Structure 1
Amino acid sequence: MSQAAALYIVPTPIGNLNDISQRALETLQRVDLIACEDTRHTAKLLSHYQISTPTWALHDHNEQHKAEQLVGRLLNGQSIALVSDAGTPLISDPGYHLVNHCREAGVQVIALPGPCAAITALSAAGLPTDRFAFEGFLPAKDKARLDKLESLRDEGRTLVFYESPRRLLDTVEAIISVMGEARRLVVARELTKTFESIHSLPAGEMLAWLRQDDNRSRGEIVLMVAGHRPDGDALPAEALRTLALLRAELPLKKAAALTAEIHGVKKNALYKYGLDHLE
């Protein structure tokens, strides 16, 4: 039985091959074509599960051109699965242009749930998960990386990055220079694989720990940074009481602005306090 004509977004294991779902396997078996980031990499997964569906390379360098051809096949009634080398497609991987073309052409897009390194790491990190921001890869160049971190310095949500082994030390150094040595970091590497590790330390201690052993920077890495926490004790108690009273009747942004005028304190500090304690 073949799959209905549609584009299927199919997550694949990030390490342990047993983490693929039965639905994903059935979809890969039944579609007419599998669009993949690296055909050689995907071939290993397909061979392991004895799947013989044809594959087609779709990566950063050819996606915009190939997307039109794939949409043509979909409109002619074929079914296509999109996979990346590991995890959920489009999460710091190719696929956006294809999905966008499908939406514009009226082609059905069906997303399957499954493995994602960012979510797997976050769930075991011990950092707040009620609010988080996935930022993908930081810029490779030093100034651009520092500028990006500077823009995130006061972000209250947990920050989640992917990072390459060769840049991890430089990134931790940049975080220290922008956010300070006390900001808590979590380095998760080789998730679901034999040498999986998840390590949590303040940034200054993390840098020293990583420098002690090159192996601690190897493999697939998810780097998480605790969100900025404004010091509530530095805000006058009277201002905090006013903020709480106003917040009961007004949106937080307006309540923070009025409290700042009344007590002569920083509006941004009040707003961030409110996000952490009153929302």
Structure 2
Amino acid sequence: MHLKASLFATVQFLMLLPLGRAADECQPYTRGDKPDLGSMPSPRPEITRSVQERDEILPGDVVCRAWGETDEEVNHHTCTDLAEFYWMDVAKLFKLNPILKTDCSSIQPNTEYCTDGWIEPVGDKINRCGPLFGNAPCAYSDNPCCNSETWTCGATAQDCADGICYEGFCAGDAVYTTNGKCGVGHGMRQCAGKWGDCCSMDGECGSGPDFCGADKCQTGNCAATPLPTRIIADGISGEFLVTLGSYTCDFKNCPLLECACTGPTAEPAADA
């Protein structure tokens, strides 16, 4: 009877003791505990864009096709650095990002700035284009080529052909002339299509000897200037035997009309 009473008392005593916890078990949380924020990774700042995209693009809106992101630290050199990194003029960077001040004091960290695009121009309601109509564009429309013969937007092969297409989905007038003027003095424009394939020394496009002939052609499919004919004297043979004016004579002229077979540098033939 005393043994049972002793065991019962021991069990009651053990139940009153606090339960222990192993070192690798979760410890109880109290309000006074604070997490160590220094050991936690910093969240990546949210990237914002300087130009907000619109569902409907209106004249004067920035149409952006590429973006460049700034770092967490920026200064007044960041605008120039950003422009140089994306091979663009800093003036264009400011134009595509109107919120930037020209001294770069308004540049923001962790922000995407427009690095390629354009300002949407005023279009023509009846599909006209080019300099006669305020340089109204055709690109990115159903008729993407400005025909310089009609000054209307079109989509045919003729509309988009070199020498006819003024701007749009083509090389345009900046590369191929649309008025027949070419070469030096005319923006080094080339000749193509209906204008011919040669630019004369006078800056006119055309085809044939008067435009493509030697000493008459400035750029294009110019005829090559013929090299002097290699002549070998009768009864004499040799790899270095050449006559007056030949480039094989190391660009030296022979005083006599014959050159002796003496080696890489030609010498006049000895008198008989």
Name the structure where helix makes up a greater proportion of residues.
Answer: 1
**TM-score, normalised with respect to structure 2:** 0.27
**TM-score, normalised with respect to structure 1:** 0.26
Larger radius of gyration: 2
